[in-house]
A and B are shown apart, each in its own frame.
Chain A
Amino acid sequence: MNKSPVNYLLTIALGAILWIAFAIMMGTYLTENPNLAEKDPADLAGELRLIFGVGALLSIISCCYWYYYGNMNKVSNNLGAAKKKWWMLFVLQIILCVVLTVAIVLMNMSQGIEAKWYAIYFALLAVLTFILFWICTFLMSPRTVKFIPLGK
């Protein structure tokens, strides 16, 4: 799993599956159950698809960059820098998740959506961003940096 291009392809596939599951298959449930003052649930669904898509895409790009970086020869001589790099990418994913959740909140401030739905959106975005990044790098990091991800 940690060989190129298998890790790249599996990461893209996993990201796509999660996005389809959350944004398409769960789309109706996520948009028709919250209280919406004026907005059409279909419009909210479109927004969620876009935001979930941005989160998943950036997470996939981060994973692919990590695979590319981890395969570079010079990295084997400087695992300290690699560790910093992984943490930087991981924290960026968390920030991305927060920013995207805030974007959903800002776009729907006037709609009166209950807080629990924002929590659910945050949780789903977390899966699509930093958790996806963590799982993919935990399982599929190139050999040289395989012990860098958190928990390895």
Chain B
Amino acid sequence: MPKNVLIGIGGTGSRVIESVVHLCAAGLGPDQLNIFIIDPDEGNGNLTRTKSLIKRYTELRKLYQRAKKDNPAFRTEIIIPPGDEPFVWNIFEEKDYTLGKFINYDNLKKNDPSLANLANILFTEKELETSLNKGFRGHPSIGAVVMADPPMDEYPFKLLWDNIGSLHANDLRVFLVGSIFGGTGAAGFPTLGSRQLIKFNEKMQAKLTADKSKVLLGGALVLPYFSFSVDSNNTEPMFVTPNDFPIATKAALQYYNDKELGFDQYYFIGDSLAQKVGEFSTGSSTQDNLPHYVELVSALASFDFFGQPSIDDVPDKKFFISCREDDRISWDMIPITRNSSNLQEERKALKEKLADFTLFAYTFLSYGKSILEKSHKDVRAEAWYGDNFNKEFKEDNKMYNPRHEENNTLYQLADEYLNDFLFWACAMDANEKIQLVDKSKILNGELTHKGKLKLTDPQEFVANIGEILKDRSNRKDFYVFKKLGLEESVVDEESMTAGSRFLNIFYRASRKFNEVNLVIN
């Protein structure tokens, strides 16, 4: 069985992993997925968001018993380095590290002036002296130097090589994702993609013959796709703005064209809508951008890579490029697979599963939680609730009482994770050209970055539930959700806690509702 490893590089890499995690939650990911991130900017808001998201995903997955027959949510086992081992390679061990410090520039000047002069030719004084705590600030040449020799026998890289001995040719599927136009991604992508570092790493037993390896290396190069506001009073020493993106991209693409890298398959993904994802930031916690549909597409590219059939021989080089038919993004335009005969089926599955999970998140966080806040006596008359909990209700037993205190941890984790999911889904709805999820039907007010989302009450706005996707629907309302969804969803798996049953009821109801509401060709 192939082993899948996804490596996110830099801020864009983190954001794509955020999308990967949400797609896995919706049931679209592979069975197992190893993930780690490379980012020197440890406090980066995007990175922090993704780290806590993975933690929530794994904790919720552990606690949430899913109905075996019809709940694909959280099916992917996301594997990260064990225990306290680092999930992120921060590159630098100390704070305020500079390139000068990394190459020991002061010593070079004294002991090896010719080498110091070479450094002076390659790097400006500012590049040598600027602190790299917030990443490489759009200067990939710095990153390429410091990332050239990662510690392969330590976590998180060790995650790559665990069980390498039992793998066959091309069985270790490694997918790198990062931006081509920034700093960390642009530096890390070609560096880690070089032939000797991962693809044909002899020391780690990746290499089989001169042109055959255990590693199948793929990557999504994310071309410029977003924009942000730049503060004219900014006093940072080095930084990148959206104006720098085209020239940086052109230079990088020329490099990839000329260089013989180790990649077997590339995905080039970009967008010209230049959607604004936040305010300018050189890095750190303030670099906390809104999710973007290109990250969803990049995440799907990784699933396409991991889902391809086994290759026994030397793989052919492949390049995948996709573009929009017009200036809109709709469900039937999302590039999802290399296999054109499966395209419609896979798009259908994507739309169904994301719609099911979005509805599940929305209905649980709004109506579901309101039911849990009431006492058993007050809600026992609800048919769907009564069918599931009235008969065997036992106040002091977590298997039969959904309000038992031992079920609260599950609800808390579900609350946090589903809130993150809805934030992600709604944030992609940035303007009228993005025809995926309609945030106005879900949110009561504006999308806020921090804290819990304020959701519309489906019992009050009964029609919203049938229109949460910006696509054709049969416009069914909340009454139908209760009648054909909740009331038809009896979950009676004996080994399941009442808390898990409660969540499964809402997931199943969402599926049943979408079966009658969505128009899927």
Q: Which residues of A contact B (CB under 8 A)?
A: 73-74, 76-77, 79, 82-83, 143-148, 152
Contacts and interface: CB of A to CB of B under 8 A. Distances in A.
B390 interface: yes
B496 interface: no
B445 to A, nearest CB: 23
B381 A147 contact: yes
Given A143-B487, A147-B390, A76 B381 contact: no
A79 B381 contact: yes
Interface in B348-381: 380-381
Contacts of B477: 73
A148 B380 CA distance: 9
Interface string B459-499: 10010000000000000011110110001000000000000
Contacts of B479: 73-74, 76-77
Interface of B: 380-383, 386, 390, 459, 462, 477-480, 482-483, 487
Contacts of A82: 381
B459 A77 contact: yes
Contacts of B478: 77
B380 A147 contact: yes
A146 B386 CA distance: 9
A20 B383 CA distance: 35
A143 B459 contact: no
13 contacts: A73-B479, A73-B480, A73-B483, A76-B383, A76-B483, A77-B462, A77-B479, A79-B381, A143-B483, A144-B383, A147-B383, A147-B390, A148-B381
Nearest to B476: A73
Contacts of B459: 77
Q: Is the interface of A mostly helix, strand, loop or mixed?
A: helix
A145 B382 CA distance: 7
A120 B478 CA distance: 49
Contacts of B386: 146-147, 152
Contacts of B381: 79, 82-83, 145, 147-148
Given A76-B482, A147-B381, A152-B386, 4 more contacts: A73-B480, A77-B482, A79-B381, A146-B383
B6 to A, nearest CB: 43
B382 A79 contact: yes
Contacts of A147: 380-383, 386, 390
Closest 4 pairs between A and B when the two form their complex, measured CB to CB: A73-B479, A76-B482, A147-B386, A147-B381
A101 B137 CA distance: 92
B487 to A, nearest CB: 5
Nearest to A74: B479
A146 to B, nearest CB: 5
A145 B478 CA distance: 16
B391 to A, nearest CB: 11
Contacts of B483: 73, 76, 143-144
A37 to B, nearest CB: 52
Nearest to A80: B381
Contacts of A76: 383, 479, 482-483, 487
A138 to B, nearest CB: 14
Contacts of A77: 459, 462, 478-479, 482
A13 to B, nearest CB: 25
B80 to A, nearest CB: 43
B483 to A, nearest CB: 6
Contacts of B383: 76, 143-147
A152 B382 CA distance: 12
Contacts of A74: 479
A138 B71 CA distance: 33
Contact of B487 (A83, A144, A148): A144
Nearest to B487: A143
Nearest to B481: A76
Nearest to A76: B482
A79 B380 CA distance: 10
Interface centre among B380, B383, B386 (most CB of A within 10 A): B383
A75 to B, nearest CB: 8
A125 B380 CA distance: 32
A15 B380 CA distance: 30
A11 B142 CA distance: 83
